Amino acid sequence: MPHSGDTIPLQDVSASDQLVENHNPTSFTPPKLPSDYIYTRCYCEENIYLLCQELMVRQDVRERWEVWAVFISNENKTVALWEQKAARVAGAPVVWDYHCILVLKSKQPDSYDSGGDQGSVEAWVYDYDSSITQLPCPWGEYVSRTFPFQLMPQYQSLFRVISGEDFIERFASDRSHMLSPEIEGEPLKYVSPPPLYEPICGEISRQYGITSNLMQSFVCMDPDAENTFGSVMSLEKVVFKFLRRV
């Protein structure tokens, strides 16, 4: 859920721009969004789970692309993202407690340009809540526009990067994190209406009787925490993970 009323000090130099300004990617066409995709506001992790599930059953996707779920948060659960549809004013950031996107990275080896320099593998981002009109969006453009400023530490993003396979098999959410604080004598209410389908529980989580691990296993950005999945990365490291030359 977005926070309101935050004033965020900015510096003019964009760390993400510096990281991607020399990137000249080889173009690989990513799969389009399914025509019948499901989106529920404020349930980004479930939206991305369903998309990940849809893409990973496709043989053409599995053969050509690495599929990654990326959770964005920090210790304070206050991360500033630009180009978000939830922004109250155009050009303003949204401060999320956490966010979730899907990244595809091509498995194809880089080609060499006429000058003999190795090209860069292209990666693409699926973010249903981004106001960037192109969806999916090239990774370099997404990073430059979503994280355009150097921020004070409390607003800086960390990234938990999880393979699509682990995400599908291990994610579970009972949606309890979206319940409003309990008031005696009143029924429980959701902060935002939940999806109409049943809560998601991956096969491995189901086998172990786990009904919810969203916050402790995926949103948690402590790299040493137990029972978490994937790797926690800084902005710099996650940029190079998906832009690195191979």
Coil, strand or helix: which one is 54?
A: helix
CA distance 211 to 3: 27
Cα atoms found within 13 Å of the Cα of residue 76, Cβ hemisphere only: 12
208, 170, 192, 205: which is closest to 71 by C-alpha?
A: 170
Active-site option among 23, 52, 127, 137: 127
Q: Are 166 and 17 in contact (CB under 8 A)?
A: no
Query: Would residue 129 show up in a list of annotated catalytic residues for this protein?
Result: no
Active-site option among 99, 129, 201, 220: 99
Query: Would residue 97 show up in a list of annotated catalytic residues for this protein?
Result: no
CA distance 75 to 143: 21
Q: Are 139 and 16 in contact (CB under 8 A)?
A: no
Coil, strand or helix: which one is 172?
A: strand
Q: Spell out a b/e string for 92-114, using b for 16 or more CB atoms within 10 Å of the CB, else e.
A: ebbbbbbbbbbbbbbeeebeeee
Query: Would residue 44 show up in a list of annotated catalytic residues for this protein?
Result: yes
Active-site option among 23, 44, 100, 220: 44
Catalytic residues: 44, 99, 127
